[in-house]
């Protein structure tokens, strides 16, 4: 289904041709002056120089060729050469009727389907999720869902940090706390237990204690850190005892992480980690050296990534340290090797803090230079800003520590719960169920409504408000629409897609004009990995609906056909909003 802008553009192209003007000038935009018109074309201004003719004369000729068009109720040439257009109620109503009956409301992915890997987890094993993990998970889940919606086969990977020094630290702290475990008995030759010798609560206490101990500037601290390095090395070299403990750590960590990601309505198709890339590293680096892609520099093996077009000097990508150790870039490159082998994707999207941009530039360029991916491979880095407190600094607990994500969710749920109890007479159980759904919407919309690269202030009171540009406001709009439709059905009415009638109501047209932007918004959000555009769109649609609702006696309308048309328009609005919030990865309760 063509978009409204495409249909108007086609109409203008015919008119431009008749006026002797190249069709490339017939570009149509949504008007930035809605008080004057709905759509606008400035092509006459651009064509004036080429045609050596006054722009208003060109615009006059084009408009003269469009006087009989059924698309417009008004089209005029405005000096110095603008073409202002207002579409007819019949045209826009016909379009929304077609939208209502068409799969995906008329959206078509012109590029065809692809296989896309979205890397948006980045959590570390043995550590609980905290507020620093929020943006990657929330934005990444939405990017994945948008890719799925447009028809791509999309694979989300949590890409756990599970192979670094933290593992050695945990193993050595366990040794100090539970020295009698069989894993630390060098003479032990039996099978290691299938049950972990610790709980998730113990594990969450063990890692910070070990990390603190390793940073102490004492002989004991230095010795402990050296022991942790040795255990990490033994783990990576395949020591059976270390591997057995590592498997316990991973089993318990994954179960806890999945529970917490579930609470965010975030899921992954792959639960792979840095450890999965290890078998590919040695061969990959050796091939880079043999192919002349990597070379020795001050004892390390590096890949030069500088390009002639760079405005500043970029350091090389180190793939092997002087002591033989691998780095994050090495692991990321080897992960690409595995992903190419197993999935052969057409595109990759990586989400991480925007301060890691250099790392991704190095790693992407090294991957292409080494032939790990094709030269034209689509490798995209979506760098996000920081979630800050009201003081403008990175969000912390009142005590100044990093807040666990489950505590943040609990805080916003409580804020919503209090508002629900204040506004409605509902049971505690229902209020808690509502607050869980609405609280997640408040949290996610509060994040996603900001452009990913921008920092933003986390404000529980503002995010949980039922008014303004918030998640609860969007949900309240959907609940209101559901309530009207349910009452209509109770009165014996039937909801039919495509039964909307044209009227002269400005509020109905405003709602229709908002709805018809759907395909363009989805396409833009998809190509730019920009969920915030969907947030902007549903806020606009919600405002337009509420304007229509306050302006129209929907269920009191005496004309049955007109009433049925109103309800069909509401049904389309509801379905569009529900589709969009699903792309943002939250849901709507039955009532609020």
Whether the model pTM is above 0.85: yes
pLDDT at res. 294 = 98
Binning pLDDT at 50, 70 and 90, where does residue 438 land? very high
* Per-residue pLDDT reduced to its tens digit, 548-567: 999 999 999 999 999 999 99
CA R_g for the chain? 29
Token digits of residue 93: 């109503």
Of the chain, the percentage scoring pLDDT greater than 90 comes to 92
- Considering only 183-192, 206-215, 386-395, 478-487, which range has the smallest mean pLDDT? 386-395
Q: With CA atoms as reference, report the closest residue to 171 among 126, 216, 215.
A: 126
User: Strands, E, within 323-434: which ranges?
Assistant: 347-353, 378-384, 387-388
pLDDT band for position 498 (cuts 50, 70, 90):
confident
Distances (CA, A) of 298 to 105, 244, 292, 295, 321: 59, 37, 17, 10, 9
| Residue 423 confidence (pLDDT) | 80
Alpha carbon 456 to chain centroid distance?
16
How far the first Cα of the chain sits from its last, in Å, is: 35
How far out from the chain centre does Cα 185 lie?
Answer: 48
List CB contacts of 440: < 8 A, sequence separation 6 or more: 263, 264, 265, 409, 586, 587
Residue 408: left (phi > 0), alpha (psi -120 to 50), or beta?
A: alpha
d(CA 568, CA 564): 6
Mean pLDDT of all residues belonging to the chain: 95
- Asked whether residue 147 carries a pLDDT value surpassing 90, the answer given is yes
The answer to whether 83 and 8 are in contact (CB under 8 A) is no
Q: pLDDT tens, 176-220?
A: 999 999 999 999 999 999 999 999 999 989 999 999 999 999 999
What pLDDT, on a 0 to 100 scale, did the predictor assign at position 324? 82
Dmax of the chain from CA atoms? 96
Cβ neighbours, 10 Å, residue 532: 21
Nearest 5°: phi and psi at 351? Answer: -115, 130
Domains by residue range for the chain, with CATH: 4-87 (3.30.1360.70), 115-162+269-388 (3.40.50.620), 165-263 (no CATH), 395-592 (1.10.730.10)
Residue 399 reports pLDDT greater than 80? no
């Amino acid at each position: 289904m063509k978009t409204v802008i495409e249909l108007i553009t086609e109409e203008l192209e015919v008119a431009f041709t008749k006026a002797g003007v190249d069709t490339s000038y017939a570009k149509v935009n949504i008007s930035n002056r809605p008080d004057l018109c709905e759509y606008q074309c400035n092509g006459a201004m651009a064509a004036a120089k080429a045609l050596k003719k006054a722009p208003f004369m060109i615009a006059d000729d084009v408009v003269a060729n469009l006087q009989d068009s059924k698309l417009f109720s008004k089209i005029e040439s405005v000096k110095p050469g603008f073409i202002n257009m207002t579409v007819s109620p019949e045209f826009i109503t016909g379009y929304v009727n077609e939208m209502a009956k068409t799969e995906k409301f008329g959206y078509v992915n012109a590029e065809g389907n692809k296989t896309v890997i979205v890397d948006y987890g980045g959590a570390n094993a043995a550590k609980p999720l905290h507020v620093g993990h929020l943006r990657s998970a929330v934005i990444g889940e939405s990017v994945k869902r948008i890719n799925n919606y447009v028809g791509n086969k999309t694979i989300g990977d949590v890409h756990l940090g599970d192979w670094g020094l933290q593992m050695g630290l945990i193993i050595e702290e366990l040794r100090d706390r539970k020295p009698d475990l069989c894993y630390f008995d060098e003479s032990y030759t039996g099978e290691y237990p299938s049950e972990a010798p610790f709980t998730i609560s113990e594990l969450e206490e063990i890692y910070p204690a070990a990390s603190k101990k390793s940073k102490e500037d004492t002989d004991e601290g230095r010795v402990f850190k050296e022991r942790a390095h040795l255990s990490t090395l033994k783990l990576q070299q395949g020591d059976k005892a270390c591997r057995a403990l590592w498997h316990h750590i991973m089993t318990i960590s994954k179960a806890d992480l999945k529970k917490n990601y579930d609470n965010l309505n975030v899921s992954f198709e792959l639960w792979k980690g840095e450890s999965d890339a290890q078998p590919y590293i040695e061969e990959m680096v050796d091939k880079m050296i043999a192919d002349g892609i990597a070379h020795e520099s001050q004892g390390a093996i590096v890949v030069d990534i500088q390009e002639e077009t760079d405005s500043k000097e970029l350091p090389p990508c180190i793939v092997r340290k002087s002591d033989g150790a691998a780095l994050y870039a090495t692991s990321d490159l080897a992960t690409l090797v595995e992903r190419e082998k197993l999935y052969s994707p057409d595109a990759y999207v990586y989400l991480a803090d925007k301060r890691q941009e250099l790392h991704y530039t190095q790693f992407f360029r090294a991957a292409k230079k080494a032939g790990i991916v094709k030269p034209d491979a689509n490798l995209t880095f979506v760098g996000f800003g920081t979630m800050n407190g009201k003081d403008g600094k990175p969000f912390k607990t009142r005590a100044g520590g990093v807040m666990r994500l489950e505590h943040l969710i609990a805080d916003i749920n409580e804020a919503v719960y209090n508002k629900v109890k204040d506004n409605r007479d509902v049971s505690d159980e229902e209020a808690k169920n509502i607050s869980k759904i609405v609280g997640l919407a408040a949290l996610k919309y509060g994040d996603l409504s900001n452009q990913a690269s921008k920092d933003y202030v986390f404000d529980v009171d503002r995010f949980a408000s039922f008014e303004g540009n918030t998640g609860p406001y969007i949900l309240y709009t959907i609940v209101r629409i559901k309530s009207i439709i349910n009452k209509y059905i109770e009165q014996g009415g039937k909801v039919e897609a495509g039964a909307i009638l044209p009227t002269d109501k400005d509020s109905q047209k405003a709602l229709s004009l908002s709805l018809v932007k759907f395909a363009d918004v989805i396409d833009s959000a998809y190509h730019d990995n920009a969920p915030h555009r969907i947030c902007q769109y549903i806020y606009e649609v919600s405002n337009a609906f509420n304007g229509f609702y306050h302006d129209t006696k929907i269920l009191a309308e005496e004309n049955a056909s007109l009433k049925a048309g109103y309800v069909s328009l509401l049904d389309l609005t509801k379905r569009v909003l529900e589709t969009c919030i699903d792309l943002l990865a939250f849901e709507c309760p039955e009532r609020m």
